[in-house]
Chain A
Amino acid sequence: MAGPVLELRNLHKEIPRNDREPFMIFKNINLSLRDGEFVSVVGPSGCGKTTLLRVINGLMPRTSGEILIDGKSAAELDHELVMGFVFQGASLLPWRTSLKNVLLGLEGRGKNTEEAEKVARKHLELVGLSGFENHYPHELSGGMQQRVNLARALAVDPRILLMDEPFAALDAQTRNFMQLELLRIWAATRKTVIFVTHMIAESILLSDRVIVFSHRPGTIRSEFQVPLERPRNMEMRADPRFLELENILWKQIEAEVNASGGFAQM
């Protein structure tokens, strides 16, 4: 069997402060993802899970530890663009149409314009937005904007897809629908995914594996294989195995919240 796609070794992140000890965000993160695995990270607010994604993606420097992609250091691979990032807000550029937004990551990557446009159109189709190529973001609903966001991250054909609470800003109904859509799209692309969320049910529904972060400084408290077969569907939320895991995860997160000073601190 091939080695892990992503491997984090003793990853450690702190932010230096004047006249005080550094502010520790997370420490001793050891994690490896195999090819095509969907892993969710859950944990109390402020536990550093979003920062973890940003460090993996190189938006923030790490303090120590190693990030390996297919066994190679992420820092060395920097310009090869091996990761796609789906931001919490849609972060679509308002002056670009859907198509041009999806093209952003493809521009200047040696592909000719025609070819890049074909790739962009294909990915808009994949996320179910054929016919909306020339719409500006303000003409799209929140769910549609997140579809464009996903298409944009996928269009560069990343080795790893990092998703930072992509559905947090959507209403409950749209969110459920988008979860199903993500399952469909993931099944079609089989990307290796790290998905950060604060919604336990979402993490179970989508993932092969759920990682629980402790309160700050974030460490990996525990991890669980999701005992549900694929393809997943919404009915599985009533499955006893689903409910049992949901219950366990909730208790763990509750304990972490209490340990960090309770809900009043959130």
Chain B
Amino acid sequence: MNERTDKLISSLLKTGSIVAGLALWHILAEYVLNDPTFLVSPVVVVNTAYEMLFVTGELYPHLFASSWIFFYGFGLSILAGVPLGFVMALNPTVRDYVNPWMTTLYTTPRIAFAPILLLWFGIGGGAKVAIVFLGCLFPILINSYYGMRVVNREYVELARSFRLNSWALFMKILLPASVPFILAGIRLSIGRGLTGVAIAEWFGATEGLGYLVFFAGQTLNIPTLFVGVAAFAVLGILGFEVIRRVETYATPWRKQSQGG
């Protein structure tokens, strides 16, 4: 079988899976449960989303509020996580200092931090960004650290045999070798960042998708609740797709090993 038929079958399977899932959902909602305070059909969700986007426009403030928090926290975590990971990989002293804190903060449920951060940073944007930041930081930090640690020894020896200086070793060997790991970390952090957005907006917000979902749940507005959840999903998928494209662009040598 050639590559093209493989690809075609793969995309058919994916589409089939989505269609089947939506159909099952529709049947469950309309014909099995038939209780709109419990579950509504995807048709209702799409209609509601359409209304909220193009008729009332009430979804936009939530969408913008959440996106803003997400990109702020996510961006800051990349700016902090990648260099810190590198420094840890290159300097054992720094690694030993940071490691226990990293492990503690990484394994503690982030939701437990939320009230503390709200207390410290107030209900404004600061606390929310901090929650997202904490969520995104560790996958990026750990992957950047790990990526630089596992660089093939032969590449490093190659650089030494050519008498490259430390800066050239970093720029020409260590950094490019780490890029796939960093991107994988960034990809992982998207989901964690969006979780952070939801948590942050549950605890104290007057807008945002997390607030929308929470409020709709409290008022048994099931269609709006599903629209909020779907909006999170769409943001996540978009984020994944963007990173996937960055990966294809930034690491063209891995074309073959990258499946869908």
Contact = CB atoms under 8 A, between A and B. Distances in A.
Interface of A: 57-59, 78-79, 81, 83-85, 87, 89, 91, 93-96, 104-105, 107-108, 136-138, 156
Given A59-B157, A89-B154, A105 B256 contact: no
Given A91-B155, A104-B162, A138-B253, 4 more contacts: A87-B154, A95-B177, A108-B165, A108-B168
Interface of B: 152, 154-155, 157-158, 160-165, 168, 172-173, 176-177, 179, 251-254, 256
B157 to A, nearest CB: 5
A87 B156 CA distance: 12
A85 B172 CA distance: 18
Nearest to A86: B161
A57 B157 CA distance: 10
B162 A95 contact: no
Given A95-B251, A136-B252, A138-B256, A57 B176 contact: no
Contacts of A59: 157, 160-161
CB-based closest 8 A-B pairs: A85-B161, A91-B154, A105-B162, A136-B253, A95-B176, A94-B253, A95-B253, A81-B163
Nearest to A101: B158
Nearest to A84: B161
B238 to A, nearest CB: 27
A89 B176 CA distance: 19
Contact of B158 (A81, A104, A137): A104
B163 to A, nearest CB: 5
A108 B164 contact: yes
Most chain B Cβ neighbours within 10 Å, of A58, A95, A96 = A95
A87 B168 contact: no
Contact of A107 (B157, B172, B253): B172
A251 to B, nearest CB: 34
Given A107-B172, A136-B253, A93 B155 contact: yes
A60 B44 CA distance: 70
Contacts of A84: 161
A50 B252 CA distance: 34
B98 to A, nearest CB: 28
Contacts of B164: 108
